[in-house]
A and B are shown apart, each in its own frame.
Chain A
Amino acid sequence: MRALPDVWVHRRPAGASWGPLDDEAPATNGAGKVPAPRTTGWHVLTVLLRNEFRARYRSQALGILWSLLNPLVQTAILSFIFSHVSAFKSAIPYYAVYLLIGVVVWQWFATAINTATQSFITNADIVKRTVFSRQIVPLATAMSYGINFAMEAMLVLALVVIWPHAFKLTPALLLVPVVLAILAALIVGVVLATSVLNVIYRDVAFLVSTALTLLYWLVPIIYPISFVDDAAMPRLYYTLYHLNPVTAILVALRGCLMDGRAPSALTWAGMLGPTLLMLAIGWAVFRHYERMVLDYV
């Protein structure tokens, strides 16, 4: 953080602020306002992000292609196995497409959260020894996997060539970027909280990765959503299942891409409600522990 020439930066136990010294007349920039300190946050974010992304593939000959291989192989194996399950086949006409969308979305969600949770520990050096807005660290890590996601999304598009009828060209496609933005916001909300908590309690990373393993089976990645929808269970369970933001995002994405159907009210609620809640919680937790991170990392 850099301050403009005439601005005092105050650091007190309660946090940082800026303004005049206690016994000093307020500094003005001529317009009668105290000039705000300038931060280089976005620049740091872009450099960290690019760096993180480059470092990941630097030593590999095929570079980014490796990240495409994983979802491809996973989808190929799973669709080979489950195409022999007649219940799956009859529930979804284009199971491979359905599966790949699920796998690619999950890949971003899970790897971004797992890695960003550790990001303060991995970048301990730069966090301890330089000064900038700390939320940049987990955000850069999480978003660098967004680049991977963009590459993998190309795989899904490539499937148009193989199964042109799996996709529906309708106005609902315009909602896809909106849904992806909600997914990004959800990831940000989660990692804001888990990244700072993991600095102070080092077992948070294990809890997070275990929770993600559980969540993998709680959302419709492999199995058709109709299995849950058609199952005889109380209305409450059904609603709760659909209020899971990852479920809602998958339902919305597949609806827009494969059925040309805009998300239902319940799906919107399931996407937006928990995401906004998670953002609020994440930001509150982050603010609460932010300064402790510097002492514990």
Chain B
Amino acid sequence: MPPPVETAPRQRFGAGELIVRLDDVGKMFRRVEQKPFLLREIVKRLTMRTERQRDFWPLRHVSFDIHRGETVGVVGHNGSGKSTLLRLIAGAAYPTEGHIAVRGRIAPLLALGAGFQPDMTGRECVEINATALGLSKREIAERLDDIVQFAELPDFIDTPVRYYSSGMLARLGFSVAVHTDPDLLLVDEVLAVGDHAFQQKCIARIEQLRADGVTIFFVSHDDTTVKRLCDRVLWLKDGGVAADGAAGEVLAAYEGR
């Protein structure tokens, strides 16, 4: 299947166009006490024994819009639903209620290096990771050199990744993700890896994408980075949006609690 010609991301949408809409979105998980087994389930059904359902909602009644070119930071305590929100927007999970609408190419940086296997070489990892992130074969071939250069790994790209350090792995993973030419970049605390110099390089790269008009949805515990990168901040608390507005105001409220 030859990939259709695509325009550069900055021409795909006009400035300020709506690209993500969440309308009263909720996600429910079942708290699992025992590992579910088919045999037990069948016995339970047969004996009509009903178990107390323990539902919990990491997110509920969440509504907001994101427009093109916005850089939205998400802050909140552990378990406030940040990662769930990202996975829902990425399409790696489905809402239990409500409606999510997205358009354009999404690069979900939910974790660096999805699909890396120890026996594969760096080159093969790039290929499978980039494929999973939505690049076509030709796009991967075109960008491989850039990806390797950015990751600073030209000498090791044909080495199996089992011999890579964790820093090298993270660099390769990040490099693939920022070279996918996205309309919407979802970043989930992945900047916490790598040394200081590489972190700065990543942040610089994100700033450049931002200048290019890429919309960025950024989850982080690090208030300084959020303040530096984001113009709008969402504060998640107990599965709902506690505040949504200009970065300075929301962060001040969040830090003051």
Contact = CB atoms under 8 A, between A and B. Distances in A.
B103 A9 contact: yes
Interface range on chain B (Cβ under 8 Å from partner): 35 or more
Interface in A264-296: 291, 294-295
A201 B41 CA distance: 9
A43 B137 contact: yes
B156 interface: no
A84 interface: no
Contacts of A259: none
A40 to B, nearest CB: 6
A203 interface: yes
Contact of A13 (B1, B97, B133, B134): B97
User: Interface on chain A toward B: helix, strand, loop, or mixed SS?
Assistant: mixed
Given A11-B94, A16-B91, A44 B38 contact: no
Contacts of A12: 94-95, 98-100
A28 B101 CA distance: 18
B134 A8 contact: no
Nearest to B6: A5
Interface in A126-140: 126, 128-132
A129 B108 contact: yes
B128 A197 contact: no
Contacts of B101: 8-11, 21
B115 A3 contact: no
Interface string A191-212: 0000001001111100100000
B88 to A, nearest CB: 7
Nearest to B137: A43
B115 A130 contact: yes
B120 A43 contact: no
A43 B131 contact: yes
A60 B75 CA distance: 48
B39 interface: yes
A89 interface: no
Interface in A5-25: 5-13, 15-16, 21
Interface in B71-111: 87-88, 90-106, 108, 110-111
Contacts of B12: 5
B29 interface: yes
B123 to A, nearest CB: 12
A125 interface: yes
A7 B87 CA distance: 20
Contacts of A5: 7, 12-13, 103-104
A44 B132 contact: yes
Contacts of B91: 1, 9, 11, 16, 131
B10 interface: no
B52 interface: no
A291 B91 CA distance: 10
B256 interface: no
A197 B38 contact: yes
A291 B117 CA distance: 25
A31 interface: no
A76 B189 CA distance: 57
Interface in A100-157: 123, 125-126, 128-132
Contacts of B119: 55, 58-59
Contacts of A13: 94-98
Contacts of A38: 4
B94 A15 contact: yes
Interface string B113-150: 01111011000100110011111110000000000000
Contacts of B67: none
Contacts of B131: 40, 43-44, 47
A277 to B, nearest CB: 21
Kindly list the 9 A-B residue pairs having the minimum CB-CB distance in the complex, ordered from nearest.
Answer: A201-B38, A130-B132, A129-B114, A126-B115, A11-B100, A129-B110, A203-B37, A58-B119, A131-B91
Interface of A: 1-3, 5-13, 15-16, 21, 38, 40, 42-44, 47-48, 51, 54-55, 58-59, 123, 125-126, 128-132, 197, 200-204, 207, 291, 294-295
6 contacts: A9-B91, A11-B94, A48-B128, A55-B117, A128-B110, A130-B115
Given A5-B7, A125-B116, 6 more contacts: A8-B103, A9-B102, A11-B102, A38-B4, A202-B35, A294-B94
